[in-house]
Amino acid sequence: MSDATTQQPQKLKFYDRLKLATKHRLAEPILGLLCFLEASILPIFPEIMLAPMIIADRKRAWRLATICTVTSVLGGLAGYAVGYYLFDTIGRAIIAFYGAGDGFASLMQSFNDNGPLMILIGAISPIPYKVVTITSGVAGLDLWTFIFYGLVGRAARYFVPCGLFYFFGPTANHFIEKHKALAGWGLVALTIIGFAAAPLLFPKNGAETGSVVEAMDMTTPDPMPEG
């Protein structure tokens, strides 16, 4: 039997597929789009693509961190607009999808008490950021406050790990190459953990989302706040 028939092509592991995807000419625009959507509506975790991209070429770390930060802040503004203008048609369903509907009254109170802290928590942690951005819009949080703290939090979220991969890239790459399956599915697990943790940040108090929105409708001005 010939070698051609005895040798079977090795099946690529999940992490290997991610590395191949990072070499696409549109990889950086796609990464930016993922960050935008992650901050506004979709349950995705951009680090699944970001980490392999830096490990493949760690010289890109700072550029990629900048792309992620800027596009995520822009996505946050889109989420803010959804909460401010489209809560009844879109935002309410997104909030409920992430399990925060029953605790929405508590969430609104948290924003009234300390909006900047809530933005930082949502921007840095794996908890779905779109819950925070949409609620910021519903609450009519000062727009410049929202942008500033969102920028600080998202910069920390992306520049810190990018910096670690830049300085420890060779070591990380060596470890990941030896444990590809663990690395790939570990990234997926972070997405699931963040999704599951969302309701924990917003304790249920029995208040319905609709009653909160009705109260907000009586106090929220028509134009978007400018500062």
The pLDDT tens digits for 118-174 are 899 889 887 788 888 998 999 889 999 999 999 999 999 999 888 887 887 666 666
210 domain-assigned: yes
Q: Supply 178's token pair.
A: 């030896």
Strands (E), the chain: none
Domain count, the chain: 1
Domain membership flag for residue 16: no
Is residue 7 situated within a structural domain?
A: no
Q: Give the pLDDT confidence of 46-59 residue by residue, as tens digits.
A: 887 888 888 778 88
What is the C-alpha to C-alpha distance for residues 54 and 187, in angstroms, rounded to an integer? Answer: 14
92: amino acid identity, one letter: R
Distance CA 64, CA 53 (A): 8
Domain that includes residue 150, residue range: 30-216
Please give the Cα distance from 102 to 22 (Å, whole number).
39
